[in-house]
Structure 1
């Protein structure tokens, strides 16, 4: 019961802190504000403003790409499930040493076996390539969107408020 309460509280906290920064889709996908930047300075200022303004939406994009990458890389999904599931099962069902004939099997032996099988399996799944794919795809999408969307009128007022404070 206590775990369920903590999960609910964590989700509420996440919603209040992270998801409150999400901009509505009508604003995020406003095709009327799309234009090619005149020069590199304009693109840089747009990227600077839009990455702060749409940070919640961009975080959602990165999370979606990460979920997509893991779900489409079956070997990575199997390796992660094997390692996490094995770790949980060893903690739950084998906290004490078990005697098999003359051999005593401890948690250390089970963890060693788990990692001897799991780490090469994880290596074959190429998690580093997946991480770089997520970084590259996120960078292209976020920097492309941020440089093409013109900041709204509120960006001018944000600059004025920043100077008066």
Structure 2
């Protein structure tokens, strides 16, 4: 019961902190505010403001790209499932040594077997390539969006409130 209450509290906290930062799709995709920055200073200023203002939306973009990357690399999905499922299964069903025939199987030997099979499988599925693709793709999308969207009128009030 206590675990369920913690889960509910975690979901409420996530909703209050992360989802409250989401801007509406009509504001995020407002084609009327798209313009080319005149110089590098204006682009940097827009990126600085828009990455804070649309931080929830950009986090959602990264999450969607991460799910896409996992779904398009099934070997990575299988290897991660194997490793995470193996850890979970070993912790849940094999906390104590077991006698199997003439051998005693310990948790340490199960983890060794999991690593011997799981790590080469994970290496073969190229997680670093997927990670760097995710960083590059999200960086390009976020910086491109943040640099071409003009800040709204509220950005002028934010500058006054910050004491600038």
For the residue of structure 2 that corresponds to 1:163, the secondary structure is coil
- Tell which deviates more after alignment, 98-107 or 47-56: 98-107
What is the alpha-carbon distance in structure 1 between the residues aligned to residue 148 and residue 75 of structure 2?
Answer: 37
- 1:81-160 paired onto structure 2 within 5 Å: 81-160=81-160
2:51 — aligned with what? Answer: 51
1:161 — aligned with what? Answer: 161
For the residue of structure 2 that corresponds to 1:150, the secondary structure is coil
What is the alpha-carbon distance in structure 2 between the residues aligned to residue 58 and residue 73 of structure 1?
Answer: 23
What is the alpha-carbon distance in structure 2 between the residues aligned to residue 83 and residue 58 of structure 1?
Answer: 29
- The Cα of 1:3 is off from its aligned counterpart by 2.4
CA distances 1:47-68 after superposition (whole Å, capped 9, x unpaired): 0110011111101111111111
> What is the aligned length?
164
Cα-Cα RMSD: 1.1
Q: Which 5+ residue runs of structure 1 have no aligned equivalent?
A: none
What is the alpha-carbon distance in structure 2 between the residues aligned to residue 99 and residue 32 of structure 1?
Answer: 70
- The Cα of 1:4 is off from its aligned counterpart by 2.3
What is the alpha-carbon distance in structure 1 between the residues aligned to residue 114 and residue 20 of structure 2?
Answer: 41
1:25 — aligned with what? Answer: 25
What is the alpha-carbon distance in structure 1 between the residues aligned to residue 145 and residue 63 of structure 2?
Answer: 17
TM-score when scaled to structure 1? 0.96
1:38 — aligned with what? Answer: 38
Post-superposition, which runs of at least 4 consecutive aligned residues in structure 1 deviate over 2 A? 1-5
- The Cα of 1:101 is off from its aligned counterpart by 2.6
TM-score when scaled to structure 2? 0.96
